[in-house]
Structure 1
Amino acid sequence: MGFSSSFSIISKTCLFLLILFASSASSSPSKDLYDDHCNSMVPKATPTKIDFTDFPLTPFDGNIYYKGGDKIFKQESTEHPYQYPKALTIKPTGNVYQTDVSGVFKFEASLIFRSTVFYSSSSNDPNSKNKGNVAFKLHGFWSDSSGKLCMVGTGSGYSEEGKLLNLEAVLKLNYVKKSNIYTSLVDGTLESLKLENDENYFDPISILTFPSMKSYYYTFASEKSGHSVCASGGLDVLKDSLRGLTTSGDGVCSMFFRWPQTFQLDYADECKNSKGNCNPLGGIAESVPQYMSTQVIQCSEDKQRLRVLLYFSNGSYGAYDRLFDPNTTLVGEGLWDGEKNQLCVVACRILAPEGSLGNASVGNCYYRLSFRFPAKLSIRETSFIQGQIWSNKKVGDSGYFDKIKYRSHDRSFYGVETSELKYEYTEMERIKKLCPPNKEVKKKGSSYPEPLSYQMSVSMSIESSKVKNMWGNAVPLFVGNNFYEQGSHSVIANLETSAAIQNGRLKISYKIRLSLPLGTDLGGGLSAPSSSSEIYPESLISAEGIYDIETGDLCMVGCRELNSSMQISSNQTMDCEIVFKLKFPPSNSRRASDITGTMQSSRRKSDPLYFEELKISSNAYRMYESQRSIWRMDMEIAMVLISNTLAFVFVALQIFYARKNRESLPYISLVMLMFLALGHLIPLVLNFEALFMKHGYHRRFGFEREGWLQLNEVILRVVTMIALFLLLRLLQLTWTARSTDPNQKGLWGADKKAFYVCLPLYLAGGVIVLMVHSIRNHYGTAEGSSSRVIGYHHAQHSLWDDLKSYAGLVLDGFLLPQILLNMFFNSKEAALSRFFYMGTTAVRLLPHCYDLYRAYKYVNWYDGSYYFADHGADYYSTAWDIIIPCGGLVFAIFIFLQQKFGGRCVLPRKFREYQEYEKVPVVSEG
């Protein structure tokens, strides 16, 4: 976090405080708002006690549709071509209270409307990305019996001119606690309480959503009717279907709950010729959607049932960050059929009269869907999930449409055991002709990426003679007969893969994605439309071929799907005349080199499917770099052990110093020693495996390092425990020396004053951390949820991580209580050994100096691999790595000056009030 981002967070914090103050200042008038606008809907009741039971109103967080309020929402603009999808988040905040009226609950909630306009992060305004967001804080009552919810409150947002708006609103929702598919739709309005001529007024906003419900009763997905759903018109039973899909893990929930999944719709030939009843949403055939996406609302593990939303669109992004449109969305119930290994779904339309959402309802439940999992894939069929959607209506009836097949568009395969999944290589004869063995002599000492390694996954920069700014990625699907599981594969191939290698050559299959700028035309139908709902439309290619592990050559043939305009005949739906070649550099090379290659059509130039040759390049992730990263991590583990060892050595030296100078013992700050002891105690109480046993570490690099990590964990526990015991011993010696000396009452008072100063200071810092965390996540939810649209991942810190970082900052300033004690008592006593306060300061500040070096020297190839200067245990950034060491050095200098010239020597002269304390000689016995 640099200076600019720190300033941004501080400014957001100030804005939050301003809004909070404004809302608290207007709290008394808002008491009357509920009486005026909600009392007739849900009469106000008196809260009695906190309700700790599961409240049925679960957070709404993405499957919400709203319409209206255009005045306070940023509108699409040609200046901002990349638009966020609209989004609304509703979630309860604070405690829920029972009231003196049975079935009536009082609670608070926040509403956050996210802007649709994407603002560049390079803008000079640190808040520019959030100026389109509108947030409300509401409170009110919900009636269990009537299902009515009414809340009032205030909010803030920005007008089109950039002026801050102070909004007042009332939220009215119909929310039935016990519901089925027909009553699960929650609808309502958010209305402004300002007059229409007021600049803070906004048009009423209609809201529709399908939240997860505690008391939901499945209407169609029952044991009696569920299995017969697919039998009425679904796909034939697959001969090679994956078995035992729900026998392990969480069953159907593990497979489907991590969706959204996107499916490409495959219409019958009649539909391709614009004939027949083809559109599942009604209307003319020319407007048929091309993709269907799914988003699971909730899932029942015990009954193998789920609720799902089905989105129809013309963009492959599907349900990612999608605000559903009731006109193009179905809501359904699914039940797993274990006998046929398929998921059967009954879906319904959302009936909303044009221009009005107030009377929206669920109906027309004639949609049927089935989802299957093939056990065998090939170059012409690489979809992990297949299915079909149809209507249970008869031909000629309203709502009837022809059966539509679909297959998964994503390459993700969640929650399914892949050991049974096989791949059938069908193009080997062609590949032998197109890709003969490379006769070049293998360079001595060179080694190339292992077939199952992460290095086989390639991010590509692509260019042609006309177009330069294209890119894509190529990820293995199968290596030999092994499914390539991205993120959990090993550098060293297993025995099955090794046995499949013949003369250094191994069969391999890939999924390739090309991202083409809008308007790109490479010929042969390999093009992108001039306008699209997607920022970068993708072209998908499946490929299979041979990888030579002795030369690093990858040669494959590929197949791409043809759109209807490029299909020469109804039987030719794919173009499999593509040759894809890559050349991997040696993985153990210290010289920088790139992956290079080509993708070209093997057809004649006169062929309508011919496209010009594409050149491919990619940065190679060399094993040399991974070895450097491993060496760095080993070094950091050693530095952790050394620094913790030095910590207890410096404490031991302080004990020896105190025993030689017993008169100095009472002058040591007990508050300082307590904070240092807690800093050593808490890591011992917490699970140390979280520090060392980072499973991705050995999985990523393929080395079995558990024994080494466990040994270091044990040593670190022992070292930390010794340091803790020594600190407790020093604390006990200081306490005893001060308690047995009746002339040290002034020290007790000075130490209490130091505690009274430190505690509010630390608590205030903790509150700021909580506020910054809340603000960052508040705005980060809106920014991060659309991160996939622009190709970035937004990672939010957990509250626990932020608190740990703040605790590290407190320990960095461990000398503050001692400085305050010396000031209040005006002590000139050399209470601390120079080895202790300078050495401990160096141990605390060394990680920040190392972090600056590491940022300059190393590339963090693998997130979460920091063991020394762990970013989850303190504040680390260029700014903090300068501020914290400077502050620590200043504290150490203060201690040095205080022990030489007096405790108040660091204060301006007018604040120095010297007060001499006469030492009374103590008569020792015998």
Structure 2
Amino acid sequence: MGFSSSFSVISKTCLFLLALFASSASSSPSKDLYYDHCNSIVPKATQTEIDFTDFPLTSLYSNIYYKGGDKIFKRESPGYYQYPKDVTIKPTGNVYKTNVSGVFEFEASLIFRSTVVYESTSNDPNSKNRGNVAFKLRGFWSESYGRLCMVGTGSGYSEEGKLLNLEAVLKLNYMKNSNIYTSLVHGNLESLRLENDENYFDPISVLTFPSMKSYYYTFASGKPGQSQCASGGLDVLKDSLLGLQSSGNGVCSMFSRWMQTFRLDYADECNNTKRDCHPLGGIVESMPQYMSTQTIQCSEDKHRLRFLLHFTNGFYAYDRVFDPNTTLVGEGLWDGEKNQLCVVACRILAPDGSFANASVGDCYYRLSFRFPAKLSIKETSFIQGQIWSNNKVGDFGYFNKIKYRSHDRSFYGVESEISGLKYEYTEMDRIKKLCPPINMMKKKGHSYPEPLSYQMGFSMSIGSSKVKGIWGNAVPLYVGNTFYEQGSQSVTANLETSAAIQNGRLNISYKISLSLPLGTDLGGGLSAQNSSSDILISAEGIYDIETGDLCMVGCRELNSSLQMSSNQTMDCQIAIKLKFPPSNSRRASHIKGNLISTRLISDTLHFEELEISADAYGMFESQLSIWRMDMEIAMVLISNTLAFVFVALQIFYARKHQESHAQISLVMLMVLALGHLIPLVLDFEALFMKQGYHRRFRFEREGWLLPNQVILRVVTMIALFLLLRLLQLTWTTRSADQNQKGLWVADKKVFYVCLPLYLAGGVIALMVHSIHSHYGKAELVPDGFPQAQHSLWDDLKSYAGLVLDGFLLPQIFLNMFFNSREAALSRFFYIGMTAVRLLPHGYDLYRAYKYVNRYDGSYYYANPSADYYSTAWDIIIPCGGLAFAVIIFLQQKFGGRYILPRRFREYQEYEKVPVVSEG
């Protein structure tokens, strides 16, 4: 995000909050308002003391929905981009106990964020966020009755753009100790103005299922292996499924990041009649095609969890408007005897359409979720299961069993959490006939994408002689026997995958999705007559790493009408051939290929041949990355060479100025020596060889990388030896002159000051790491990707880099304690070494602007795991380093205490102790 964009966002937020606090200050609610509107719900009580215990009410910021308040919320309009409705309720300030047991008084903020964002030509910086509405409320919550009532003021904008000063009362039912029936938090936000007032708004009803500290499972209360939905589901052999024993962290780690979409597969008889097929009992006219899940919380015993289930007709997990008629709330318990998660789910009942009167009931839904131990071309779903009714045939709510499976491959994190999942290549005989090995000479100097690299996934345009405008996406599923991490940027081959390469050829499987625009008709069921359509193809084949050829056979899912006409569920007569261009090409290149139906033209499932074209993903980036890595390797060599040159110049300077040489801080020299020693001893190999192993560098840079690796080792060792030599000279000079006792005392003080500072900084770094790790594990990632986090070792290395950036700090302290005017450090040394330490931060700013960030282990200069690198740190650290250099210059010219206020500058000099000579 650019500076102007960041400044715009900050200015908008400041203006909005300023308007909110101004309106709050001008018209804060009086006690009479609470008495008039809330006293009958939660009687007003008197504060007694601040409650420092763990307040039972949690902030509400997810799974929260609202409706109403049309006057103050922007309405949908063509051309607007609409976000899902978002509202946050959280306590602010202190929480007070009162003279009534179980009644608490506190303040809270209530923020409704706009669902509509549009580009405006207005110069008003707030024009894009006028849909936001915020309230500042104060009131009481009764723990025993589970009621909350608060009054307060807020601000928002009308449809005409006028700032509104709002007054409101919030009434919620919020139980501390809850179960599936009482866990629903719901209520109303009502305006305190008259209906004819311009600041009046319609009542807003709120509904949410929050994560609760005191939640008691109703249906998942048995012991693991004693689930209430063990009967009625589809019996599957336990050995064919993965169990919790495959994961060391239990069910919570497997499901805590769960935001997944499942495709519903209805029974064959549902194609002819809809009787006993609709899971929602016909309340919604069309039968849903997808079911999506959203985790609410997982219990600490790692065997139970709660989530919402949304039924939709679209692929996306959540509709923009929450509909209680199409949502279930459920409890799940892991059944270790059957290796499945069993779920009991209930309806959300809102008879009058208002969230304020919603309740939970009709708990006759049963679901099971299973993890297959093997995937194949005909079954690529990580999760399978079914939903059925616990009611009897003919009873209300009964419907036939409906199977479902994870749609596409969006359940990220499964493979990393569960070991033992394998892919079975079942079509290799067909592939060998379709893709025979071709003996051809590899062109010298050409390198093709590594099987596990990000270049293997790409977006493509597809067309035929008659139809254009088809778009698709192709992502590997398994490479050899290794799961392909879509979010990773692997540059080295896995050991297992490398061993699976035979004669340069490797088995590989893909997930391919095609999006057909409206009106497309390619024959064979590849059509989109009434609406756009998505086609999913699973494929497996052989990738030739020496030539860049990818040859596969594919299977596509058939819709219900094609299944009836062809008596088949899948069409596996598909051939896919692709040609990757060299990854080290200096010119823009394209992936070319075709997708062919191998059936006869007369076959009902035959479709037109499709030509595939895709920009070789990362080809331009690869070219830039090659140049960047070459430049970074050179910069590492240059910077380390300059480091030992500047140290050598300091040694020559010390020999010419022996009187001032003893006044160099030993602590500073030790910091510099350790800064060169630790990378050299501990992780220099890891800096170049990820995980200590490499088969082939992505761009075949061994000829350039390996010799320079040796050179860099030598240069670093020379710099270390010179620093140790400088340390020895300083120590020897001090020890030889008994008049230098004052310097020893001053350097001890430096050590006693710097050590606590460094330790305190290390503790802060550990605390920050702990906080980031805690929130990274606790929060659900909306798009299903796990959040990238630095390891503890990486954070400690970054902190060590910060200490090294401020290497002049001990010398500054020594000059202050000893109050010396001697120029102990050569200008070449302290200015040059400062430049060596600070230039990487300037380069990092340039790199962030010039290149796409890739956390793939290919950074050799300004390595993010070896120092603090960000826009803020890249400004703060250079400013601090330059300030230290300026302070050293002033101290060596005007005295060590010149930088202090005058009253602290009194001249104190350590007296030289006379030495009685012998003789």
TM-score by length of 2: 0.75
- What do the CA deviations read for 1:437-472 (whole angstroms, capped 9, x no partner)? 335443345443344444433333444556655443
1:559 alignment partner in structure 2: 555
- Following TM superposition, by how much is the alpha carbon of 1:362 offset from its aligned partner in structure 2, in angstroms? 0.7
Q: Tell me how far apart the structure 2 counterparts of residues 303 and 347 of structure 1 sit (CA, whole Å).
A: 19
Deviation (angstroms), 1:174: 0.8
Structure 2 counterpart SS, 1:318: coil
Q: Secondary structure at the match of 1:287?
A: coil
Quote how far apart the aligned CAs of 1:186 are. 0.9
**1:689-722 Cα shifts (integer Å, max 9, x gaps):** 99998999659987899x999999x999999x99
Which deviates more from structure 2 when the two are superposed, residues 259-268 or residues 888-897?
888-897
Specify the alignment match of 1:350 in structure 2. 348
Corresponding residue number in structure 2 for 1:307:
306
How big is the alpha-carbon RMSD for the aligned residues of Structure 1 and Structure 2?
6.0
Q: Which residue of 1 aligns with 2:611?
A: 614
Letter in 2 for 1:420: G
* 2:82 aligned counterpart, secondary structure: coil
Distance 2:719 2:198 in 1: 62
Counterpart code for 1:11: S
Aligned to 2:475: 475
Does residue 578 of structure 1 match 2:574?
yes
Equivalent position amino acid for 1:427 in 2: E
Q: Do 1:675 and 1:811's aligned partners in 2 also have CA atoms closer than 8 Å?
A: no
* Structure 2 match to 1:248: 247
SS in 1 for 2:228: helix
For residues 188-587 of structure 1, the aligned pairs below 5 Å read: 188-223=187-222, 227=226, 229-238=228-237, 240-246=239-245, 248-283=247-282, 287-302=286-301, 304-319=303-318, 324-411=322-409, 412=411, 414-415=413-414, 419-464=419-464, 470-486=470-486, 487=488, 491-494=492-495, 498-499=499-500, 501=502, 503-517=503-517, 521-527=521-527, 538-569=534-565, 571-587=567-583
What secondary structure is seen at the aligned counterpart in 2 of 1:283?
Answer: coil
Contact 1:644 1:716 in 2 (8 A): no
What secondary structure does 2:252 align onto? helix
AA matched with 2:449 = P
Does 2:849 match 1:850? no
Shift of 1:269: 1.6
Q: Please list the CA deviations of residues 379-411 of structure 1 after superposition, one character each: whole Å capped at 9, or x if unmatched.
A: 222112111111111111111111111111141
In structure 2, do the counterparts of structure 1 residues 121 and 844 end up closer, same or farther at CA, with 3 Å as the change threshold?
Answer: farther
Is 303-312 or 197-206 further displaced after alignment?
197-206
Matched, 1:106 2:99: no
* Alignment match, 1:76: 76
Corresponding position: 1:37 with 2:24 = no
Q: Write the distance in 2 (CA, Å) between the matches of 1:47 and 1:111.
A: 25
Q: Structure 1 residues 220, 794: CA separation in 2 closer, same or farther (over 3 Å shift)?
A: closer
2:572 partner letter? C
8 A contact 2:376–2:423 mirrored in 1: yes
Which residue identity lines up with residue 370 of structure 1 in the other structure?
Answer: S
**Map 1:523-922 → 2, pairs under 5 A:** 523-527=523-527, 538-569=534-565, 571-604=567-600, 607-609=603-605, 610-621=607-618, 631=630, 698=691, 839=832, 842=835, 846-851=839-844, 853-854=846-847, 858-862=851-855, 869=862
Q: Which residue pairs with 2:757 in the alignment?
A: none
CA distance in 1 between partners of 2:567 and 2:853 (Å): 49
The one-letter amino acid of 1:442's match is K
CA distances 1:397-436 after superposition (whole Å, capped 9, x unpaired): 1111111111111413534565533333333343344334
Report the CA distance between 1:251 and its aligned residue: 0.8
Q: Is the 8 A contact 1:476 1:511 kept in 2?
A: yes
SS, match of residue 83 in structure 2: coil
CA contact 1:306–1:334 (8 Å) conserved in 2: yes
CA contact (8 A) 1:379 1:543 kept: yes
- Letter in structure 2 aligned against 1:108: E
Task: Identify if the C-alpha distance between structure 1 residues 162 and 423 changes in structure 2 by more than 3 Å, giving closer, same or farther.
Answer: same
Partner of 1:15: 15
Amino acid of the structure 2 residue aligned with 1:385? I
Q: Secondary structure of 1:233's match? A: coil
Partner of residue 825, structure 1: none
Give the Å deviation of 1:298.
Answer: 1.2
CA distance in 1, matches of 2:276, 2:360: 23
Contact 1:295/1:310 (8 A) holds in 2 = yes
Q: Is the partner of 1:358 in helix, strand or coil?
A: helix
- Paired residues of 1:274 and 1:285 also in contact (CA < 8 A): no
> Per the alignment, in what secondary structure is the counterpart of residue 138 of structure 1?
strand
- Note the alpha carbon deviations across 1:540-561, whole angstroms, 9 max, x for none: 2111222233322111121222
Match of residue 46 from structure 1: 47
The more displaced of 396-405 and 548-557 is 548-557
The match for 2:67 is 67
Following the alignment from structure 2 to structure 1, what is the Cα–Cα distance between the partners of residues 485 and 222? 35
Match of 2:751 in 1: none
Give the CA deviation at 1:166: 3.4
Separation in 2, partners of 1:699, 1:136: 55
3-state DSSP class of the match of 2:413? coil
TM-superposed CA distance for 1:785, in Å, is: 8.2
For 2:510, what is the secondary structure of its paired residue?
strand
Secondary structure in structure 2 of the residue aligned to 1:230: coil
In structure 2, the partner of 1:744 is none
Offset at residue 172 of structure 1 (A): 1.6
| In 2, Cα distance between equivalents of 1:26 and 1:689 | 62
Change in 2 beyond 3 A, CA 1:62/1:458: same
Shift in CA distance, 518/445, structure 1 to aligned 2, threshold 3 Å: same
Q: Distance in 2 between matches of 1:807 and 1:20?
A: 43
1: CA distance, partners of 2:399 / 2:672: 68
> 2:834, 2:881 within 8 Å by CA — same for their partners in 1?
yes
Q: What do residues 173-216 of structure 1 show as CA deviations (whole Å, max 9, x unaligned)?
A: 11111111111111111122333333332211111111111111
Q: Which amino acid aligns with 1:377?
A: L
- Please state whether the residue corresponding to 2:565 is helix, strand or coil: coil
Structure 1: which amino acid aligns with 2:362?
Answer: N
Task: Classify 1:226/1:625 alpha carbon distance in 2 versus 1 (closer, same or farther; 3 Å).
Answer: same
Amino acid paired to 1:172: K
Whether the aligned pair in 2 keeps the contact of 1:418 and 1:483 (CA below 8 Å) is: no
Structure 1 205/585 Cα, relative in aligned 2: closer, same or farther at 3 Å? same
Report how far residue 677 of structure 1 moved.
14
Q: Is the 8 A contact 1:35 1:44 kept in 2?
A: no
Q: What whole-Å deviation, never above 9, does each CA across 1:89-117 have from its counterpart, x for those lacking one?
A: 33334444434433223333333323222
Separation in 2 of the partners of 1:540 and 1:703? 33
- CA deviation after TM superposition for structure 1 residue 4, in Å: 1.5
Distance 1:164 1:870 in 2: 48
Q: Read off the aligned partner of 2:493 and give its amino acid letter.
A: I
Cα distance in 2 for partners of 1:585, 1:538 equals 28
TM-superposed CA distance for 1:901, in Å, is 13
Go from structure 1 to structure 2 and tell me whether the alpha carbon gap of 1:78 and 1:846 turns closer, same or farther (over 3 Å shift).
same
User: What is the aligned-residue identity percentage?
Assistant: 67
Return the alpha-carbon distance in structure 1 between the equivalents of residues 352 and 684 of structure 2.
57
Residue 472 of structure 1 contacts residue 515 of structure 1 at CA under 8 Å; is this kept in 2? yes
The separation in 1 between residues aligned to 2:565 and 2:452, in whole angstroms, is 39
Moved more, 601-610 or 161-170: 601-610
- Aligned equivalents of 1:259 and 1:356: distance in 2? 29
1:563 Cα offset (Å): 2.2
CA displacement at 1:649 relative to structure 2: 9.5
The residue type paired with residue 113 of structure 1 is F
Offset at residue 158 of structure 1 (A): 2.9
Distance 1:716-1:157 versus aligned 2 partners, 3 A rule: farther
Once the 2 structures are TM-superposed, how far is the Cα of residue 300 of structure 1 from its aligned partner?
Answer: 1.9
Residue pair 2:331, 2:343 contacting (<8 A) in 1 also:
yes
Whether the 8 Å contact between 2:68 and 2:204 is mirrored in structure 1 is yes
CA distance in structure 1 between the aligned counterparts of 2:189 and 2:58, rounded to whole angstroms:
19
